[in-house]
Amino acid sequence: MRRLLEGLAPYAEFGRVGFVNILAFRLRYFTGIITYSLNVTIYYFIWKAIYHPGQSIAGYNMPQMITYVCAGWIIRSFYTNTIDQEMAYEVIEGRIAMDLIKPVSVPWMWISRAMGESAFRLGLLTLPTAFVVAFVFPMQGPASREDLLLFLFATLGSFFLMGAIGVLIGTCAIPLKSILALVRAKQWVIELLSGLLLPMPFFPEKFRAVLAWLPFEHIAYTPLQIYLGKLGRTQALHALAAEWLWVIVLLALAHAWWNHSLRRITIQGG
Amino acid sequence: MADSLDARRVPQDANSAFRGRQTRGRAQPAVPQGSRNGRISPLMSADPLIQVRDLNKHFRMFRRREGVWGAVQNLFVREYQTVEAVRHATFSIHRGEMVGYIGPNGAGKSTTIKMLTGILVPTSGEIRINGLVPFRQRRQYVKTIGVVFGQRTQLWWDIAVIESFKLLRRIYGVSQEDFDARMKRFDEVLGIRGYLHTPVRKLSLGERMRCDLAAALLHNPPLLFLDEPTIGLDVVAKDHIRQFLRAVNREFQTTILLTTHDLDELCRRILIIDHGRVLFDGQLEDLKQRLLRMKQIKVVLRDRSQISALESVSLSGLELEHVDEMTCRIRFDRTQISTADLIRRILASVEVRDLLIEDESIEEIVKRIYAGEAFQELPAQAGPEQAFGNAD
């Protein structure tokens, strides 16, 4: 147990540095609150234009849909990360060398740093945004206390899914060098396929069947369904199990891909 | 050999800030007593700390075609070109040595250092350091080394220096008291206290380099790699860092391998590399002895009328250069004419106020090595004690 704690200490410290690092850019977070609130506002008015009073689309009535949008953007401010961008810059500028001279697992280092940043954002971005959004828009509370708990647990899973995806994409910078286009593409694909922009029932049947075999819908759709209380207890637990299974699979893939790519590293300059 | 990973040097100085470096009670003196002053002769310990055999690193570079049509072609068919950054490098370094790795830009120095530090994977060949293969056992290996890259920093750019140090303390598992003691010692020698609370991006290059040196030595590694540690620094800062390195090498028997292209006389032993090949491996003194060919004598004359007399002396194939109307510089090849003879001839024919005999600078010698001239002279003269890496 003591050895485990000693082994984890550096990663806790990376988390702390991620936290401190962000403090250097406080302003970004105040503008962040505005950006996220703006996103919610846009989708609020879009859905308001689409819905007739009392109408239900794909099983969502209007208050549910507004809550889905609000909660979706609020948790996005927590689970998101910039691992892939930062890794890309490190590889391009050769700073990756300085990570490799440290006796740590580089993928875990990145995820720990992202965790520190997410912890920071939770306090300075997620909660203030939640406060503003809940105050301005007719957002419903969680379906039940248990659902809230499961929802939080699912959101934590979303963080790890995004972390693993970040490392997977970021590592592509080693063979590809310039991946900023890939990073942008990933961002859009995930916003769409995670269910952040549209709940999954809005997708065509066949497409949904394919998506069910992919990890993306667990990022936003799964926690939001739990929040809305749309899943029964067993269904919710199944969804959670599937999500965390994907967490393990993607983390393993991220490590394997990183270890494989290490052999191809070249460092330009200096 | 495997045991020696944790076998740390036990410092002799009882007040040493580095004293606490026993890792979980397994410390044992690994260095033979005779090597205390850090100058180990290769004969003394049988197995070297660093062993490099037939090391190669090839990069496959994407060659871009020119022009618009070329750019379109690049999209579909890529042409690659193989660059041999390091070729057949073989050398070994013993504990406590301080070795200078010298070469012009693009010679393959940095690539070698990056393979030695486990960052790059060699194309072929063998590296064994402290019984470990750097890239294969990276996490275990890098605990035993410190690395400074002159053009990069391992500190976090936007946060205070002390935060980075705290992070490194955790990463390397340095105890709080060792940490405090070492920080105190680094402050004494490097004077870093003043900017510990400043973010790295606001530091000057000299200040940053001091912090980076401290960061690399925080866990008191037995082996320190420095890649151009004095690049871009002013004379005072350079000197400061040289003194610090000398002290670290002397006090803690830290083995130091540093690359540089300015030739300070910091290291007794040097490795010269160019075009990926080791051209010379031996003592700096030896290099001088063997390759020092040109000498020069600066002659200050008593009066102007003596100039023509001096010109007549130097007729025999010597180069004469007028510095000013009273001063001349005569360059000569010491293998052709002995210094004593020449001085005798000068004194016999002109009235001299002052004489100054100068050796060719090391820079000049190394320039000749790079040009390939000295390279041809070397193998014939090489004694058995001298290893010439692949002088083919």
Domains located in chain B, CATH noted: 49-281 (3.40.50.300), 294-359 (3.30.70.260)
Say if A99 falls within a structural domain: yes
For residue A25, which residues of chain B lie inside 8 Å, CB to CB? 158
Write out the two tokens for A231: 């899943």
**Residues of A engaging B, defined by a Cβ cutoff of 8 Å:** 6, 9-10, 12-14, 16-17, 20-21, 24-25, 94-95, 97-98, 100-105, 262-263, 265-267, 269-270
Distance in angstroms (rounded) separating the CA atoms of residues B253 and B97 = 8
- Nearest beta carbon to residue B170 from set A10, A21, A101: A10
Phi, psi for residue B91 in degrees, rounded to 5? -165, 165
- Asked whether the predicted pLDDT for residue B16 surpasses 80, the reply is no
Residue (of B222, B212, B265, B219) closest to B242 by Cα position: B265
Write out the two tokens for B64: 């871009």
Write out the two tokens for A33: 């609150």
Whole-number pLDDT of residue B38: 38
CB contact under 8 A, B166 and A105: no
Decide: helix, strand or coil at residue B283: strand
A67-94 residue pLDDT tens: 999 999 999 999 999 999 999 998 888 8
Say if A125 falls within a structural domain: yes
Chain A contact for B388, CB < 8 A?
no
Whole-number pLDDT of residue A171: 95
Say if A150 falls within a structural domain: yes
B136-167 residue pLDDT tens: 999 999 999 999 998 889 998 888 899 899 98
The residue behind tokens 């998506």 is A211
B179-208 mean pLDDT = 89
CB contact under 8 A, B156 and A102: no
Residue (of B272, B176, B247, B250) closest to B218 by Cα position: B176
Helix/strand number for chain A, H first, E second: 13, 2
- Length of chain A counted residue by residue: 270
Whole-number pLDDT of residue B185: 87
Quickly state the pLDDT bin for A256 (edges 50, 70, 90): very high
Whole-number pLDDT of residue B4: 39
B47-61 mean pLDDT = 88
For residue A262, which residues of chain B lie inside 8 Å, CB to CB? 121, 135
Global pTM value: 0.80
**Residue A224 buriedness (CB in 10 A; 0-12 / 13-18 / 19+):** buried
Whole-number pLDDT of residue B26: 37
B252-304 residue pLDDT tens: 899 999 987 666 667 888 888 888 888 888 888 787 777 777 788 888 888 87
Distance in angstroms (rounded) separating the CA atoms of residues A74 and A79 = 9
- Nearest beta carbon to residue A104 from set B139, B154, B227: B139
* DSSP 8-state secondary structure symbol assigned to residue B242: H
Q: Please give, rounded to a whole number of angstroms, the shortest distance from the CA of B269 to a CA of chain A.
A: 23
Say if A7 falls within a structural domain: yes
Q: Please give, rounded to a whole number of angstroms, the shortest distance from the CA of B140 to a CA of chain A.
A: 7
Quickly state the pLDDT bin for B373 (edges 50, 70, 90): low
Whole-number pLDDT of residue B60: 80
Q: Which residues contact B57 (CB under 8 A, 6 or more apart)?
A: B84, B85, B86, B108, B111, B112, B115, B120, B122, B123, B276
Q: Work out the number of other CB atoms within 10 angstroms of the CB of residue B225.
A: 25
Compare A185 and B44 and report the one with higher pLDDT. Answer: A185
**Residue B90 buriedness (CB in 10 A; 0-12 / 13-18 / 19+):** middle
B199-215 mean pLDDT = 91
Q: Which residues contact A127 (CB under 8 A, 6 or more apart)?
A: none
Distance in angstroms (rounded) separating the CA atoms of residues B21 and B11 = 9
Assembly ipTM:
0.81
User: A188-208 burial, b for 16+ CB within 10 Å, e for fewer?
Assistant: eebbebbbbebbbeebeeeee
Say if A267 falls within a structural domain: no
Phi, psi for residue A32 in degrees, rounded to 5? -60, -40
Say if A244 falls within a structural domain: yes
The residue behind tokens 């400061």 is B240
For the ranges A32-41, A238-247, B370-379, which has the lowest average pLDDT? B370-379
Q: Under a CB-based contact definition with an 8 Å cutoff, are residues A226 and A239 in contact?
A: yes
Residue A203, CA distances (Å) to A39, A195, A235, B73, B102 in order: 21, 10, 20, 40, 64
Whole-number pLDDT of residue B324: 82
- Nearest beta carbon to residue A104 from set B110, B171, B199: B171
Q: Which of residues 36-65 of B touch A (CB under 8 A)?
A: 59
CB contact under 8 A, A266 and B59: yes
Query: What residues make up the domain containing A41?
Result: 2-262
A157-196 residue pLDDT tens: 999 999 999 999 999 999 888 898 999 999 999 999 999 9
Q: Which residue of B has its CA nearest to A95?
A: B152
- Asked whether the predicted pLDDT for residue B12 surpasses 50, the reply is no
- Asked whether the predicted pLDDT for residue B369 surpasses 90, the reply is no
A116-153 residue pLDDT tens: 889 888 988 899 889 989 999 999 989 899 999 999 99
The number of domains in chain A is 1
Q: Under a CB-based contact definition with an 8 Å cutoff, are residues B283 and B253 in contact?
A: no
For residue A12, which residues of chain B lie inside 8 Å, CB to CB? 170
Which amino acid is present at A90? E
CB contact under 8 A, B173 and A95: no
Q: Please give, rounded to a whole number of angstroms, the shortest distance from the CA of A112 to a CA of chain B.
A: 13
Residue A89, CA distances (Å) to A85, A102, A208, B309 in order: 6, 18, 35, 68
Whole-number pLDDT of residue B388: 40
Whole-number pLDDT of residue B262: 63
CA B21 to chain centre: 26
Cross-strand pairs, B69: none
Chain A contact for B361, CB < 8 A?
no
Q: Which of residues 135-154 of B touch A (CB under 8 A)?
A: 135, 138-140, 142-143, 145, 147, 149-154
B210-215 mean pLDDT = 93
Q: Please give, rounded to a whole number of angstroms, the shortest distance from the CA of B139 to a CA of chain A.
A: 4
Q: Which residues contact A210 (CB under 8 A, 6 or more apart)?
A: none
- Asked whether the predicted pLDDT for residue A49 surpasses 80, the reply is yes
Say if A268 falls within a structural domain: no
Quickly state the pLDDT bin for B31 (edges 50, 70, 90): very low
- Asked whether the predicted pLDDT for residue A33 surpasses 90, the reply is no
Q: Which of residues 88-117 of B touch A (CB under 8 A)?
A: 110, 114, 117
CB contact under 8 A, A24 and B145: no
Whole-number pLDDT of residue B353: 87
CB contact under 8 A, A270 and B151: yes
Separation of first and last alpha carbons in chain A: 42
Max Cα–Cα distance, chain A, nearest Å: 65
Say if A270 falls within a structural domain: no
Q: DSSP of A130-171, one letter per residue?
A: HHHHHHHS-----S-HHHHHHHHHHHHHHHHHHHHHHHHHHH
Residue (of B230, B263, B270) closest to B363 by Cα position: B263
Q: What share of chain A is helix, strand, coil (3-state, %, to 5)?
A: 75, 0, 20
Element spanning B382, H or E: none
CB contact under 8 A, A17 and B156: yes
Whole-number pLDDT of residue B28: 40
Over its C-alpha atoms, chain A yields an Rg (Å, rounded) of: 19
Distance in angstroms (rounded) separating the CA atoms of residues B18 and B146 = 14
For the ranges A89-103, B11-25, B79-93, which has the lowest average pLDDT? B11-25
Whole-number pLDDT of residue B44: 45
Q: Which residues contact A123 (CB under 8 A, 6 or more apart)?
A: none
Distance in angstroms (rounded) separating the CA atoms of residues B52 and B127 = 5
Q: Please give, rounded to a whole number of angstroms, the shortest distance from the CA of B372 to a CA of chain A.
A: 25
CB contact under 8 A, A100 and B119: yes
- Round the average pLDDT of chain A to a whole number and report it: 90
Distance in angstroms (rounded) separating the CA atoms of residues B256 and B347 = 47
Distance in angstroms (rounded) separating the CA atoms of residues B132 and B112 = 16
Residue A94, CA distances (Å) to A97, A269, B56, B154 in order: 6, 7, 21, 12
* DSSP 8-state secondary structure symbol assigned to residue A57: E
Compare A264 and B118 and report the one with higher pLDDT. Answer: B118
Write out the two tokens for B86: 């390091």
For the ranges A105-109, B159-163, B379-383, which has the lowest average pLDDT? B379-383
Residue (of A127, A117, A35, A77) closest to B158 by Cα position: A117
The percentage of chain B sitting over the pLDDT mark of 90, rounded to a whole number, equals: 24
